[in-house]
Amino acid sequence: MLLVNTIRDNFETVLEGLQKRNFPHAEATLHQVLELDKARKDTQVQRDNLQAESNSISKQIGMMMREGKKEEAEKIKSRTSEIKEQVKLLEDAYNNIEEDLKQLLYTIPNVPHVSVPSGKSAEDNEIVLEFGEIPVLPEGSQPHWELIKQYDIIDFDLGVKIAGAGFPVYKGRGARLQRALINFFLDEAQKAGYYEVQPPILVNEDSGYGTGQLPDKEGQMYEATADKLYLIPTAEVPITNMYRDVILNEVDFPIKNVGYTPCFRREAGSWGAHVRGLNRLHQFDKVEVVHISHPDQSYEALEEMSAYVQGLLKKLELPFRVLRLCGGDMGFTSALTYDMEVYSAAQERWLEVSSVSNFECYQANRLKLRYRTVDKKTQLAHTLNGSALALPRIVAAILENNQTEEGIRMPKVLVPYLGFDLL
């Protein structure tokens, strides 16, 4: 959530950033924020002035009573009753204005970093780098949705029977591959200094609002309506919310967490080859890394996280590229996002497997996540997160890119976890 002071003090910069995102009615919305803020402050001044008057009258009444001027004291007591009623009305008005302001701020996305390119869709994203050679597959090679049937490692029909479309059942060596990847990602994260946590996979409304899934993505999450809980779309939500309403010390930075969770997304169901098989699911496994950073160090942390994810892809021997997302393709809460995509040789297309984002203080403002400086002042921290990695499209690329006449070759780094090197 943007700070009102930021909007007021940097109006043109904020407006330019929101226009880069193609945010509709940006200027009118920002003016509305400032109008509500002014109304809130004016109401507060009126309330404070009346409260000061009430305190002054109370002192006068006390003095008169001590001086034996009871009749005079009684005359001005009626004014205190009037003031109490007026203060109550002003408090209600203040609370209503503050709620309206908060709800309006919830609708405004984060301001993009200056390096974010303009654009409306994924076609306008900027390629930062490409790594690795595109594999040449032997004749008769197939996409992963055919391979999983041939090797009987993932069963979509059984998943439909149990739950519905988008909930696959991993079997035998397919389940082993899932477990191998999760353990590999977690082990690599620990080596890189991340502290492992295993958070809940259901969160409350406060957590959803804290990281920005609510109200922006309410329709995209599965909800346990009886308890007002939500199945998480990513481990970012519970891990980042561990620090909601927390005041850190400046010496605590950087804070680096990693966690594995299943993830759930309602919007996954659609048709077409681009979402066949493992390309888009309602339930999938992911290892997430989360940084809580000092504001002066958050972009250095972002580059570190990007390099870390790239290192995982190199170890998995997958060709990949890094994209800097344009204003129109960025997530609602992000200030700068890098997407990592691996190349699927059988599908002849790039598949997104990770997003690494810096949210600056946007989430921290919602979370009330602060730190205490050396001179005892409190400031908002910066939050970052990244997929390291999401499993389904990694599995798809491993299966498709490593087809040989003998079978499917497994990446060398996974063999100790798998116990086999050829499927």
Strands in 255-264's sheet, in edge-to-edge order, are 126-131, 320-324, 336-344, 349-358, 382-390, 283-293, 255-264, 195-196
Indicate the DSSP class of residue 422.
B
> Is 353 known to sit in a ligand binding site?
yes
Structure tokens given for 338 = 């890098």
> Is 385 known to sit in a ligand binding site?
yes
> Is 115 known to sit in a ligand binding site?
no
The C-alpha atoms of residue 297 and residue 303 are separated, in whole angstroms, by 10
Indicate the DSSP class of residue 112.
P
Cis amide prior to 254 (ω within 30 degrees): yes
> Is 66 known to sit in a ligand binding site?
no
> Is 405 known to sit in a ligand binding site?
no
> Is 288 known to sit in a ligand binding site?
yes
**357 in helix, strand or coil?**
strand
Q: Are 336 and 302 in contact (CB under 8 A)?
A: yes
C-alpha to C-alpha distances, 243 to 295, 331, 390, nearest whole angstrom? 16, 21, 23
Amino acid at 240: T
Q: Are 110 and 335 in contact (CB under 8 A)?
A: yes
Using CB atoms within 10 Å of the CB of residue 115, give its burial: 0 to 12 exposed, 13 to 18 middle, 19+ buried. Answer: exposed
The C-alpha atoms of residue 79 and residue 54 are separated, in whole angstroms, by 8
> Is 266 known to sit in a ligand binding site?
yes
> Is 82 known to sit in a ligand binding site?
no
Q: Which H helix or E strand runs over 401?
A: helix 391-401
Residues sharing a CB contact under 8 Å with residue 81, sequence separation 6 or more, in sequence order: none
CA nearest neighbour of 333 among 304, 306, 366: 366
Structure tokens given for 224 = 């346990």
> Is 267 known to sit in a ligand binding site?
yes
CA nearest neighbour of 200 among 164, 172, 237: 237
Structure tokens given for 265 = 């997304």
Torsion of CA 332, 337, 340, 346, to 10 degrees: 40
The binding site consists of 234, 265-267, 288, 352-355, 385
The binding site for ATP consists of 265-267, 352-355
The binding site for L-serine consists of 234, 265, 288, 385
